[in-house]
Amino acid sequence: MTSKQETLVEVRNLKKHFVVKKGLFGRKATFLKAVDNVSFSIQKGETLGLVGESGCGKTTAGRTILKLYEPTAGEILFAGAPLQNLTHKELLPYRKKMQMIFQDPYASLDPRMTVGEIIGDPLDVHKMYEGQDRTDRIKELIELVGLKQDHINRYPHEFSGGQRQRIGIARALAVEPEFIVCDEPISALDVSIQAQVVNMLEELQEKFGLTYLFISHDLSMVRHISHKVGVMYLGNLVEIADAHELYTNMQHPYTKALLSALPIPDPDLAEKSERIHLQGDVPSPLNPPPGCAFQTRCAYAVQACRETKPQLKDMGNGHQVACHIVH
Ligand code: SF4
């Protein structure tokens, strides 16, 4: 994996809060702080893996970057251009450059459309190909993801889960994007075909110089595909580092607990390592504790953790950790 320096996607202090109850008669509104002050950047041609338990805000972060959700606050930069205040029309050229692969290949493909119509739809939206050129482009994409050209007139229900995800990938690739948010792209697939899909994503990245945000709770797969990995907890990014650094020198107590569940191939090391079982539940994102959001489950919490929210600090080499006891 080569490291390139050009930043393609950057988010600064990104927030996405959903109003779950309006404030009537002078009462305060209730907000779900799905993403609360998240900052990171992704270099061109690289993959940032985003991990964390279900409900930690990683999918919301991905959708907000693509402006499928309006950000509550913060900046989204694509190749240096700010996107957060663009109108629908101004955003259209960027929509072409930024695509998404969805988690559920069953739900994300319209069952009434043929494969050709599904893959051709974004070409029509962005007015990219017409007539025979359009058909040729669709066939090219079908082959690119390992399907057969004569699948063009078939319907999604005629395919397996893995094949459907390939159709979803072809649809995302149709408009020649530069950046793709892969939102749990393998979690709905059989284990036996997960690696095939991930390997294909890697090959496509190499071939087209694609940049990925790879959202997953599968820590092994994230390690395999990512150049950099960020860990989210309750809407906050608590640690981010190069993949090898994060997996071998994790610092945040939450990251340590998450990674302790990973199988270790070396039996000697496995015997010495200890699985950390987190106590307690994830607090409600409607009412997160003050200070560090992880304090209710952290064995190392000190007074400062209950009073002040820890900010990400650079430990060197871009390894950033948000924890009061990590120096
Ligand atoms: Fe634990 Fe405190 Fe660090 Fe939060 S800031 S992870 S509560 S030690």
Domain coordinates in residue numbering, the chain: 7-226, 239-327
Flag whether pLDDT at 246 surpasses 50.
Answer: yes
7-226 folds as Rossmann fold (3.40.50)
Q: Are 162 and 193 in contact (CB under 8 A)?
A: yes
Q: Mutation test of ligand 1: which of 237, 282, 311, 324 has the most ligand atoms closer than 8 Å to its C-beta?
A: 324
**Mean of the pLDDT values across residues 223-250?**
95
Share of the chain above pLDDT 70, in %: 94
**Mean of the pLDDT values across residues 160-177?**
95
Q: How far is the CA of 237 from the centre of ligand 1 (A)?
A: 13
Q: How far is the CA of 293 from the centre of ligand 1 (A)?
A: 8
User: Is the four-CA dihedral 276, 279, 283, 289 of positive or negative sign?
Assistant: negative
**DSSP states of 123-143 as a string?**
HHHTT---HHHHHHHHHHHHH
Q: How far is the CA of 289 from the centre of ligand 1 (A)?
A: 12
Q: Give pLDDT, residue 237.
A: 97
User: If you take atom 7 of ligand 1, which residue's CA is the nearest one?
Assistant: 295
Q: Which protein residues are within 6 Å of ligand 1, measured from CB?
A: 253, 292, 294-295, 298, 300-301, 305, 310, 323-325
Sort 36 into a burial class: Cβ within 10 Å, 0-12 / 13-18 / 19+: buried
pLDDT tens-digit profile of 106-147?
A: 788 999 999 999 999 999 999 999 999 999 999 999 999 999
Predicted confidence band of residue 42 (pLDDT cuts 50, 70, 90)? very high
User: If you take atom 5 of ligand 1, which residue's CA is the nearest one?
Assistant: 323
Q: Give pLDDT, residue 2.
A: 44
Q: Mutation test of ligand 1: which of 239, 276, 323 has the most ligand atoms closer than 8 Å to its C-beta?
A: 323
Question: Regarding predicted confidence, which is higher, 54 or 325?
Answer: 325
Q: Give pLDDT, residue 210.
A: 98
Which stretches of 112-227 are assigned E, i.e. beta strand? 179-183, 211-215
Flag whether pLDDT at 46 surpasses 90.
Answer: yes
Ligand 1 atom closest to the Cα of residue 254 is 6
**For residue 185, which of 100, 303, 247, 122 has the smallest C-alpha distance?**
100
Q: How far is the CA of 55 from the centre of ligand 1 (A)?
A: 20
Q: How far is the CA of 253 from the centre of ligand 1 (A)?
A: 7
Count other Cβ atoms within 10 Å, centred on residue 204: 18
Q: What is the mean pLDDT of the chain?
A: 91
Q: How far is the CA of 323 from the centre of ligand 1 (A)?
A: 5
Predicted confidence band of residue 279 (pLDDT cuts 50, 70, 90)? confident
Q: How far is the CA of 225 from the centre of ligand 1 (A)?
A: 29
Ligand 1 atom closest to the Cα of residue 326 is 3
Cα end-to-end distance, the chain, whole Å: 29
Cβ partners under 8 Å of residue 220, min gap 6: 262, 263
Q: Mutation test of ligand 1: which of 308, 309, 325 has the most ligand atoms closer than 8 Å to its C-beta?
A: 325
Flag whether pLDDT at 244 surpasses 60.
Answer: yes
**Mean of the pLDDT values across residues 178-190?**
92
pTM as predicted: 0.91
Q: How far is the CA of 187 from the centre of ligand 1 (A)?
A: 30
Predicted confidence band of residue 188 (pLDDT cuts 50, 70, 90)? confident
Secondary structure of residue 81 in the 3-state scheme: strand
Q: Give pLDDT, residue 270.
A: 64
